[in-house]
Amino acid sequence: MNKLAGLLLAAMQLFLCFPVHAQVYKWVDAKGVTHYGEKPPENTKSREVTLRGGAGAPAAAPAPDAKAKDPAWKDQERAFKQRQLERSQAESKKAEELAKLEANCKKARANLADLRTAGRVTTTNEKGEREFLGDREREKAIAERQEEYNQHCS
């Protein structure tokens, strides 16, 4: 049974490969509608149409490859790929720098906000003891943090 099915399939493929040569006619009816068909109606003006790109039409010969004629295309492609690589490296470096600047800005903003909202601010001296900042020292620390913020976030 499988041999018969295989033989039938091969025969069908063989018949599909043969070009179909049918005449096609074009005509316009009394209402102005264009029609196509194998046989035009009688008493109408029609003309034969040649089909392009159909199953029976021979395939166009492929155009010769331009790359095969010009050996310099390899150099051009290599240069193009190099430019793409350089551009992507520059973009990634710029993105890294931008992310670093954004992180520094965020940190400076947080430090400034902490100093402004904190009631009493302490620092640790060299002995490891906590010391409270006075109002002048606190204002000086806020001014320093504001300067850091201006440097990183401008």
| pLDDT at residue number 53 | 59
| pLDDT at residue number 99 | 93
Strands 34-37 and 122-124: unpaired
| pLDDT at residue number 81 | 95
Residue boundaries of the structural domains of the chain: 21-51, 93-154
More confident site: 135 or 144: 144
DSSP secondary structure letters along 65-117 = PHHHH-TTHHHHHHHHHHHHHHHHHHHHHHHHHHHHHHHHHHHHHHHHHHHHH
Can you tell me the distance from the alpha carbon of 3 to that of 6, in angstroms, rounded to the nearest whole number? Answer: 5
| pLDDT at residue number 68 | 55
Q: What is the pLDDT of residues 15-48, one digit of tens each?
A: 665 555 668 888 888 888 888 888 888 877 778 8
DSSP state at residue 126: T
Q: Are 37 and 24 in contact (CB under 8 A)?
A: yes
Contacts of 111 (CB under 8 A, 6+ apart): 145, 148, 149
Q: Which of 97, 116, 117 is nearest to 105 (CA)?
A: 97
Q: What is the pLDDT of residues 34-92, one digit of tens each?
A: 888 888 888 777 788 777 755 544 555 555 555 556 678 889 999 999 999 999 999 99
| pTM, two decimal places | 0.41
More confident site: 20 or 131: 131
